Every structure is written in C-alpha cells, then in structure tokens.
Amino acid sequence: MMTNMYQTDLAIHPGELLEETLEDIGMSQRELANRLGRPVQAINEIIKGKKSITSATALELEDVLSVPSHIWIGLESEYQMVLARQEELKQMKEESSLVRNFPYSDLVKLGLVKTTRKAIEKVDELKRFFGVAKLVQIQHVKIYQPAFRVSNHNNISHEAIATWIQVAIIKAQAIETESFEKKKLKENLPKLKSLMNYNDINQSIKELKQLLNTCGIALILLPHFKNTKVNGATFWLDNNKAVIVMSLRGSFSDVFWFSLFHEIGHIMLHPKREVFLENGYSDPKLEKQETEADDFASQLLILDKDFKDFISIADFSKTHVINFAKKQGIKPSIVVGRLMRYNYINYNDYNLSSLRDRYKWGSK
C-alpha cells in the first residue's frame, strides 16, 4: 500500500545534522577531517548531501562528536529510503498510462484491489496484486508470459489475460486437492466424460470439481474479462497440483466440454512447467501443443474411426445424431459441434442446431 508515499520532502540528510553539530561545538570541517583522518573534501561532500555516511564513518563520528552511531545510520537509512520512494513515485507516474490496459474494475468487484480513481494508486495496487516492482515486469514473469505470446488480434489485451491468470492463481491457492496422479486421472476419464449427460450443468460442475480434486486438479470457473477472449487455461502451482481454469466464454455445451478435455489433454501430454492458454498462438511449438490437446479432446469425445463410420452413412438427421451420441455416451451437441466444425452441416442448420444446447450457469 502507498503508506507515506507522498511525504517525500521530509527527508533529512545526515549531513544537515553534522553541519549543525559542528556549528554548535565550534569545530571546523578541517578539524573534524583531521580527527577522523579523512580528507576535508569528504566531510564537505557529506554535509552537502553528496556522500553517504557508512557504518564505519558513523562509528568514527560517535567517537569524535559523541552523537550515537545509530543516529547517523538511522538518518542515512531514512534519507536513502525517501530517495528510493521518490524514484518509485516517478516510475509509478510514468506507468500510470498503462493502467487502462488492465481490467481494474473487475478486480475491484472481486475485492482484490481497492476502489480508487487515482491512476497512481491503481499502479500501486496492481503491483501488489501481481507481486512485481514495476508493471512492465509482468511480461517477464514466467507464469504470465503466455498471456503476452497470444497473437495480437481482435483487440486482445495481454495485460487483461495476465490479470485473469493471476486471479485464477489466487483462487487455486485456496483449493485443497489430493496430490496429482496421472494414472488416476486417466482411469477417471470415462467418468468425467459421463458427467456431461446430467440435466443440470451445475450438478455436473459440482461432481467435476470433486472428481478432479481427487486426481490432484483444481477446477476453477472464472468468467473472462473484457478483451481476454480465452476459453480456458492450464497451469501448475507445484508438481503435485494442476489447475484448470474455464472462462465460460459462450454458453454452448459442446464448446465447454471440448475446452475442458482440451485442458485435461495438456495435463496428460505436456510438461508441468508450461502454462497453456486456449487461444491463438504464433509460436510453432505452442501451436503444436495446442493441436495435440485438440486431438486428445476430439478422440476422447468421439474416436476418429467411429466418427468416420458415422459420416460415411451420410445421414445427419436429428434421430441419427441422437442415437449416435447415445451410443458414444455423449451429448448430441458434441456430435453437432463436430459436424459443424468439419463443415458437414451449416452453423445455421436449424434442425440440428436445436440440439446444440446452451448452459445457464449457476453459482460458481
């Protein structure tokens, strides 16, 4: 917090006390220099505030002037701190223009930063929120770097994405899970898949969270912030706790379940040190990993062989889609979404689009 941030003109350089002390006892700078064994210029520079008082000098001044060394050190320390605060204040003023890139009002609503209209106070709050000395350092912190690797398209805000990630981190830290077990997660994939068939999505979410917790995964539903445009993210708090964040961007059921298993794919397939965002990347390596996660989700929901057999019949009637979905143990919306994605049917196909249901989210 900005405690005494603006009291930067109250600093007293120890040189002022030294000059007053010499005047009080009638000692010249040259006499002091001789008693200390120091050049007169060094004493003059201390008095003018050009030179700091070291611990050794403070002890010597105590011997000569009978002013305790801790007084000199305390004044010097406070003076240097005020100078540092002045420099920090200058830096914060320069960074004030960056505040508009962050979804500050969303953080206020979540109770994570204080309400203020002053840009410089917002800078201070954001630095505390992210745990950085300067806002420009956010992009250099490993956990936030993926946010700045997202392709800059459609008014994407890298800072907003980084903020979304940090909120997820804070929420994930408060969730207790068992230690991560890849084998246990793999064994529970069929059960996780079956949860989509509940009529109440909120009951599905409740059981999803419970089941994933037993596998060492914290599931967080965190609405997206303006200009983030991400469906989900995956990261690790440590080697024993994975985190999946779903933004609930859009409400189509097939998008939600595909995104969820896409994130699970990252956990199953990719290194723990990585942070994955389900968004557009320009980095070939990251694009490859995103494609692998897509393939994992696709295969888990509908095996390629089964899908090829289904489309080979060329019967995309509502009845056939529902029967195929039931055989696969999935929602009909998953089949419809797959058909739309690969252009077997149009997105405006009213007959089948009615099977592509939307969720109404309850309490998260």
pLDDT at 4 over 50: no
**pLDDT (tens digit, 9 = 90+) per residue, 94-129?**
999 999 999 999 999 999 999 999 999 999 999 999
**pLDDT (tens digit, 9 = 90+) per residue, 202-239?**
999 999 999 999 999 999 999 889 888 888 899 999 87
pLDDT at 362 over 90: no
Mean pLDDT of the chain: 91
Contact 221, 359 (CB under 8 A): no
pLDDT at 2 over 80: no
**CA distance to 78, 211, 310, per residue, from 58 (Å):** 15, 64, 86
Q: In degrees rounded to 5, what are phi and psi of residue 220?
A: -125, 130
Q: Tell me: domain 14-97, CATH 1.10.10.60, correct?
A: no
- What does the alpha-carbon distance between residue 32 and residue 43 come to, in Å, rounded to a whole number? 8
Residue 1 pLDDT: 45
pLDDT at 310 over 70: yes
CA-based radius of gyration for the chain: 31
Q: Outline which parts of the chain fall under CATH 1.10.260.40.
A: 14-97
- What does the alpha-carbon distance between residue 266 and residue 229 come to, in Å, rounded to a whole number? 19
pLDDT at 272 over 80: yes
Contact 80, 44 (CB under 8 A): no
Residue 346 pLDDT: 87
Contact 166, 144 (CB under 8 A): yes
Q: How many CB atoms lie within 10 A of CB 328?
A: 18
Please name the amino acid found at residue 280. G
Residue 9 pLDDT level (bands cut at 50, 70, 90): low
Contact 222, 163 (CB under 8 A): no
Residue 165 pLDDT: 95
Q: Give 41 or 12, the one with higher predicted confidence.
A: 41
